Amino acid sequence: MKLLYAPASPYSAKVRMAARHLGIALKEKVVDTNAAPPELTDPNPLGRIPVLLRKNHDAIFDSRAIMLFLHRESGKKLYPKGEAGTQAHVLEALCDGITDSLLLIVYERRFRPAEMVYQPWIDRHWDKVARGLTHLEANLPDPDDALHGGIFALAAMIGYLALRFEGRWEADFPKLAAWPARFSKAFKPYGKLAPHAAS
C-alpha cells in the first residue's frame, strides 16, 4: 500500500502515526496538492491528501476513512470498544474540526491578496479553535493510557498549531502546549511524524 501525503498536513500526520503504531507498513510519497498531479487527482477527484492506494482495490480517502480501514486491517486495534470507542471518535472529530478551522485561516492568508483577506472570517474560525482548545485543556487524555485514533488526531492537531501558529496559543493553553512532550515519551516516532515544513 502507498500513502500520498504532505509533510505539513496534519491529516497525513494522523494517518502516518496510526499506521506506525499498528505496525502496518506503508510506502509513502510526498505530493504537491497545488500542482494537482494525476497521481493524486485520478484516485481522489477532490485532489486532497492523504490518499491510500491499494493494489487491486479502490483508493481510500479522507483521513478518517483511512483510519477506519487501518482499524479493520489491524484486527480492530486502533479504537476501543463500547463507550470508550465512542469517546475516541468524538475526540478525533473535535481535533479534526479544530484542524479544519486552522487550515481555513492559513488558506485565507496564503491564497488571497492581502487587501482581500477577510478578517471577520479569520476571527470566526479562531473563535471555534479557541473553544475547542479550551475544552481540550480541561479534558486532555493521558498519553500514557492506551493510544487510539483520537489521541493521534490530537497529536497531529497540536503539531500543526506548533508549526503554523507558534506563539499565538501556548500561553493560554499551557497543558496543551506541554502535552506533546509527554506524548513523545509514549509514542517515540512523534518527532519525525508530526506536521513539519517540507525540506
Domains of the chain: 2-73 (3.40.30.10), 82-193 (1.20.1050.10)
Q: Cβ distance 137 to 175 under 8 Å?
A: yes
Question: Where would I find the beta strands (DSSP E) of 8-99?
Answer: 27-30, 51-53
Quick check: 160 and 199 in contact, CB under 8 A? no
What phi, psi does 9 have (nearest 5°)? -70, 120
Query: Taking 90 as the threshold, does the pLDDT of residue 198 lie above it?
Result: no
Q: Is residue 4 within a helix (H) or strand (E), and if so which, with residue range?
A: strand 2-5
Give percent of the chain with pLDDT exceeding 90.
Answer: 97
Task: Give the pLDDT confidence of 24-83 residue by residue, as tens digits.
Answer: 999 999 999 999 999 999 999 999 999 999 999 999 999 999 999 999 999 999 999 999
What mean pLDDT do residues 132-159 have?
Answer: 96
